[in-house]
A and B are shown apart, each in its own frame.
Chain A
């Protein structure tokens, strides 16, 4: 009993002390809160009433000569950090644009001159160095002029048709720069096509007729280039490789969307491979083949706020396809082929832009196995955003070639130190079953790229 009373007294004593402590803490919080609130409020009030003036300092607009010349001077580096661990790109590059518009119309030129010292550093064969150490990427050279509702253009031009961002199906006119696989900047991926184009611009309708008398094809690498299509072999042009092409595209615009239909005749852009043993030497020579086929299809986009839904489909009639006898370097076959892709854009304003796209290519007949498999599937998710008044731009793309198990990740960061000087960092990684999948050879190609860029305009 006595013990119990003592406990109560002790408990009571402790209880009193805790209560006092709590009360003191509450009082302290009250005083601090009151002081903080008054302090913050006075600070806040001050910002409401004062500081009406601003000084942007001297804004240097630069002395412009006003020449139609602009471009980018860069120092670029790219290191493959997989197997082999080696430099892929190291050296300066100049991207030059001449864009003049006068009474006679617009004259436009764009090209990239690049020195790549990595082949020398990595002691690649002399043939590879001679071929690729200095390269000139001729992107565009054309003349264009508007006559009322019609615009006529001629020259080497990049064409963009369709509604997809990356998994393009109807965009068959331009050739692509495949020398850098997934590592090329999107701005450099497309190359101009030799075109004569007539365009009609109606109130909400567009019609474009493109005639390609002498097509240019995708750029690929050969010899001992790290990304050679067939390692160690030179790829020869075949004699009758350029048949003329043409395409008619009509687009109708609506308030919330657009519909495009097209029909055209194209050659394959990436070469078919054919081997031939030369009679004299008995050496197997490898030739690039380009064969024409007809194609027709449509593209649709529609705004369903807050999304943009995109759809493209094409049907290729008797398209020449490389068979898996590619290994024995003999042939190709012709099959009807269907292509389709579907995508969603989701623009979250401050939260950045998201793009989701999936696509499939399906040959319609079941003949021999094809070099790239019968049905091919692609998916991708991308996100990009800019911060600090466009000074920092971040983008991410995940590509799923063939299956969601295969993942290519690409992350890029561009920081503009000044309006004309920027630093770019890019990391690309691959997770693909190297023995099983068509793109498995890329599994060792993880790569880190950097660039220092100086933009200029006279």
Chain B
């Protein structure tokens, strides 16, 4: 009797050790890595414009559904994203807050580099003080745990990742939202371990679109911290994009919905429009955005 209990206890206890999980549970690593690679490198548009609404609130569970239990914090944001560089390997993103009124015209610019170890460049424009400020948000060896526009999404969650940062394990194939998905687990390599808040991630990757329909993120003690869901997938000229993304933060009991209201893919966007000028020169930015907005659906 005691022996059985001790064995169960031991098994439960060791589930907190990532290294042991990583060592013991690796299945078909090459297959899993290839699936992850297809997900990371999938075509999500070279030039993308969106009008996004971010809604964040507390939740409680009622009849098996996570239901909003507090006043929502809402933000309305326009974003531009373009791929740049010789092989379009780097990405520049511009985000401008339109709502709430107190934050109107606050803008954020970020350049993410494909080169491993190269830290992103970030700037913020604070309209109330007319101040353009460079932001240094991380050291090379620490996770970027800051929140994206006050939501439950952190910069780390959406930053450009590299296939080589993880060891992969193929878990299964499962159907989620009527889509057949490959389920893979990703464990940070020893080198990347310090740079991420997470000890393990599990992806359910749609076999057709290569979008991670569901993504679970566990901390280094193997506790589930966040779950991402992608919904409302659309095909625009052969580019698959999800119009709704929901993140559940199991720690804070808060959830965020990122909903794309207007979208334009692979439209002409000048690189200058995702530059420092666009942050503080509203007349320039608006003159260019007027054309782009007319192309969005």
Name A's B-contacting residues (CB within 8 A): 30, 33-34, 37, 41, 44, 47-48, 50-57, 59, 61, 70-72, 99, 101, 105-106, 108, 144-146, 151, 153, 158-160, 163, 165, 186-187, 190, 199, 201, 206, 253, 255-258, 301, 303-308, 345, 347, 349-350, 386, 389-391, 416-420, 422, 453, 455-457
Contact = CB atoms under 8 A, between A and B. Distances in A.
A347 B136 contact: yes
A57 B12 contact: no
A379 B276 CA distance: 30
A163 B123 CA distance: 12
A422 B129 contact: no
Contacts, number: 178
A345 B136 contact: yes
Interface in B121-155: 121, 128-140, 142-147, 149-152, 154
Given A51-B64, A54-B257, A305-B140, 13 more contacts: A54-B255, A57-B68, A101-B286, A106-B283, A151-B277, A151-B283, A163-B134, A190-B129, A201-B275, A257-B134, A305-B136, A345-B136, A455-B100
Contact of A159 (B119, B130, B143, B223): B130
B65 A53 contact: yes
A352 to B, nearest CB: 10
Contact of B64 (A53, A59, A345, A416): A53
A59 B74 contact: yes
Nearest to B99: A457
B23 interface: no
Contacts of A199: 281
B146 A144 contact: no
Interface stretch (B26-34, B35-43, B54-62, B78-86): B54-62
Contacts of A386: 150
A391 B73 contact: yes
Interface string B61-76: 1001111100111100
A389 B283 contact: no
Size category, B interface: 35 or more
* Closest A-B pairs by Cβ, 9 of them: A390-B150, A146-B284, A106-B283, A457-B101, A187-B128, A101-B286, A349-B146, A306-B139, A455-B101
Contact of A59 (B61, B72, B281): B72
Given A190-B130, A201-B272, A306-B136, A55 B150 contact: no
B287 interface: yes
22 contacts: A37-B12, A51-B61, A54-B66, A55-B65, A56-B57, A70-B101, A70-B104, A72-B101, A105-B283, A106-B283, A160-B132, A165-B131, A190-B129, A201-B275, A301-B134, A305-B139, A349-B144, A349-B154, A389-B56, A455-B101, A457-B99, A457-B104
Given A70-B101, A159-B130, A305 B119 contact: yes
A56 B229 CA distance: 14
B5 interface: yes
A306 B275 CA distance: 23
Contact of B138 (A44, A258, A305, A457): A305
B274 interface: no
Q: Which among A303, A304, A390 has the highest number of chain B CB atoms within 10 Å?
A: A390
A48 B140 CA distance: 32
B38 to A, nearest CB: 24
B136 A418 contact: no
B66 A34 contact: no
Nearest to A301: B134
Contact of B9 (A34, A151, A206, A303): A34
B276 A253 contact: yes
B163 interface: no
A336 B74 CA distance: 52
A314 to B, nearest CB: 19
A258 B136 contact: no
A190 B61 CA distance: 48
B73 A419 contact: yes
Contacts of A186: 128-129
A320 B174 CA distance: 77
Contacts of A350: 145-147
Contacts of A305: 119, 136, 138-140
A56 B287 contact: no
